[in-house]
């Protein structure tokens, strides 16, 4: 029965049954009136989640396709951007820039730390010729479980005309990111994170200044062309055949998020984070990210001295059906990651922590069985803000 799994991944998240049912609806014509109505509802609902009046485009691709779309549609070959990296997905932005002949000047912070807005401010202040066309940065860095302070980074930009392009694939709807209020030009999201859907859609909210950049951009794209997507979208269509079931699922998940409210979703994710962190700490394990910058979507946990991540991940899956993720990039061999976003439940977290206690105890790590669950359930009992 360990095939009845508890998924604690930083995406894909479990899928709510009503979303799965919506996805199983009969096929429709993606050039017909049923699709048009579906499209109108999901694009409107997405704008609420992005907290923007900007146009939203939806592409049939996973999140990396959205990251590529941001680069290939907005930055011309030879132009320079500032890529702020705090982990593996920041590094992916650098790779994409290189693949598209965009000059990526990297401002790197160590794995486990957040970006320092001061450093960005200084670099931009020195760029008096405005050579830097955009700042590319993660909202939530999935590989380390660190949340960047996007509001402070936006302020650090000051009067510099660089576009602020934010990868919030694992952040949106898990942590507040008011696009318009914070003057963000592009926000990239993905279906399989706090939207509680399977993978296969990436959504981009693209502000007016970014659309102006798109008009002038000479970089190469066809399938991921956001202007084509916008123009078709305004007619209730997509330029290429879309993943219709995922759009039905998105309609349903947007209704769920609306009923919960964004504030409710943020509070729920923060509570799951606090439960996981308290539980892990009660077992004496170290957390990669400090409290102040800890992600509400995923927590990277340092493996005890002398152990490898697989020593924990494999028995969790094989003996308890609890599925957590390995490390990525520079901390690949040092951490495992507990995801707590999307349709993860509080009892899934308690069960996951119970399994973690057992796996560590059986491996000879000196832990008190029950300690992690006790710490997490105390946090849960004391919280009042969240509808349990």
**Which of residues 242 and 315 has its CB atom nearest to a copy of itself in the complex?**
242
Part of the chain binding a copy of itself (CB under 8 A), chosen from 45-53, 126-134, 145-153, 217-225:
217-225
What residues between 28 and 57 interact with a copy of itself by CB under 8 A? 28-32, 34
Q: Judged by CB under 8 A, which of 123, 183, 221, 286 binds a copy of itself?
A: 221
Q: Collapse the DSSP code of 384 into the 3-class scheme (helix H, G, I; strand E, B; otherwise coil) and give the result.
A: coil
From candidates 45, 145, 190, 352, binder to a copy of itself by CB under 8 A: 190
Nearest approach, Cβ of residue 235 and a copy of itself (Å): 14
Under rule CB under 8 A, residue 308 binds a copy of itself: no
Within a 10 A sphere around the Cβ of 44, how many other Cβ atoms?
A: 11
Q: Is position 64 an interface residue for a copy of itself (rule: CB under 8 A)?
A: yes
What Cα–Cα distance (Å) separates residue 359 from each residue in 308, 312, 355, 365, 366?
A: 13, 7, 6, 9, 11
Given 23, 57, 120, 282, the residue binding a copy of itself (CB under 8 A): 23
Residue 245 sits in the site that holds a copy of itself (CB under 8 A): yes
Residue whose CB is less far from a copy of itself, 61 or 380: 61
From residue 163, give the alpha-carbon distance in Å to each of 153, 271, 308: 12, 33, 41
Backbone angles phi, psi at 56, to 5 degrees: -110, 135
Q: Is 331 helix (H, G, I), strand (E, B) or coil?
A: helix
Q: What three-state secondary structure class fits 241?
A: coil
319 annotated as belonging to a binding site for a ligand: no
**Residue 217 CB, nearest distance to a copy of itself (Å)?**
12
Residues present in the chain in total: 388
To the nearest whole angstrom, how small is the minimum distance from the Cβ of residue 240 to a copy of itself? 4
Residue 382, preceding bond cis, omega within 30 degrees? no
Cα four-point dihedral sign 8, 10, 11, 13: positive
Among 99, 119, 181, 263, binds a copy of itself (CB under 8 A): 99
Pairing of β 186-190 and β 163-167 = parallel
**Closest to 385 (Cα-Cα) out of 297, 254, 274:** 274
User: Among 43, 51, 52, 62, which residue sits at the site for a copy of itself (rule: CB under 8 A)?
Assistant: 62
**What's the longest Cα–Cα distance across the chain?**
63
Task: Please identify, using beta-carbon distances, which residue of 35 and 211 lies nearer to a copy of itself.
Answer: 35
The alpha carbon dihedral of 23, 268, 299, 166 has a sign of positive
Residue of 108, 121, 323, 374 that binds a copy of itself (CB under 8 A): 323
Q: Does 14 bind a copy of itself (CB under 8 A)?
A: yes
Alpha carbon distance 87, 67 (integer Å):
15
- β-pairing, 55-60 vs 201-206, is antiparallel
Minimum distance, C-beta of residue 29 to a copy of itself, in the bound complex (Å): 5
Annotated binding-site residues for substrate read: 337
| Contact residues: a copy of itself, CB under 8 A | 3, 5, 7, 9, 11-15, 20-21, 23-24, 26-32, 34, 60-65, 68, 72, 95-96, 99-101, 190, 192, 198-200, 219-225, 239-246, 317, 323, 325-326
Annotated binding-site residues read: 337
């Amino acid at each position: 029965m360990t095939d009845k799994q508890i998924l604690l991944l930083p995406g894909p998240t479990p899928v709510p049954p009503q979303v799965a049912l919506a996805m199983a609806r009969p096929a429709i014509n993606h050039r017909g009136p049923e699709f048009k109505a579906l499209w109108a509802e999901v694009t409107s609902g997405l704008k609420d989640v992005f907290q923007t009046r900007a146009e939203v485009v939806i592409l049939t691709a996973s999140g990396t396709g959205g990251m590529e779309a941001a680069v290939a549609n907005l930055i011309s070959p030879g132009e320079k951007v500032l890529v702020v990296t705090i982990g593996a997905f920041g590094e992916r932005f650098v790779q994409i820039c290189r693949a598209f002949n965009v000059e990526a000047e990297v401002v790197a912070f160590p794995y486990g730390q957040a970006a320092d807005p001061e450093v960005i401010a200084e670099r931009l202040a020195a760029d008096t010729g405005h050579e830097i066309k955009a700042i590319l940065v993660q909202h939530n860095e999935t590989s380390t479980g660190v949340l960047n302070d996007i509001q402070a980074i936006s302020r650090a930009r000051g009067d510099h005309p660089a576009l602020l392009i934010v990868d919030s694939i694992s952040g949106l709807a898990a942590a507040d990111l008011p696009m318009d209020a914070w003057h963000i030009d592009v926000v990239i999201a993905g279906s399989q994170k706090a939207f509680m859907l399977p993978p296969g859609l990436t959504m981009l909210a693209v502000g007016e200044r970014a659309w102006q950049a798109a008009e002038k951009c000479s970089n190469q794209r066809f399938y991921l062309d956001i202007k084509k997507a916008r123009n078709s979208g305004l007619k209730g269509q997509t330029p290429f055949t879309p993943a219709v079931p995922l759009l039905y699922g998105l309609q349903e998940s947007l209704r769920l998020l609306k009923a919960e409210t964004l504030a409710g979703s943020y509070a729920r994710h923060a509570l799951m984070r606090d439960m996981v962190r308290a539980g892990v700490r009660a077992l004496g394990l170290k957390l990669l990210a400090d409290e102040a910058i800890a992600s509400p979507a995923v927590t990277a946990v340092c493996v005890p001295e002398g152990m490898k991540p697989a020593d924990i991940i494999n028995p969790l899956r094989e003996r308890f059906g609890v599925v957590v993720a390995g490390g990525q990039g520079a901390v690949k061999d040092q951490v495992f990651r507990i995801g707590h976003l999307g349709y993860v439940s509080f009892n899934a977290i308690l069960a996951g922590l119970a399994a973690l206690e057992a796996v560590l105890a059986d491996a000879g790590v000196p832990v008190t069985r029950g300690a992690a669950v006790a710490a997490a359930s105390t946090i849960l009992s004391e919280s009042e803000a969240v509808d349990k």
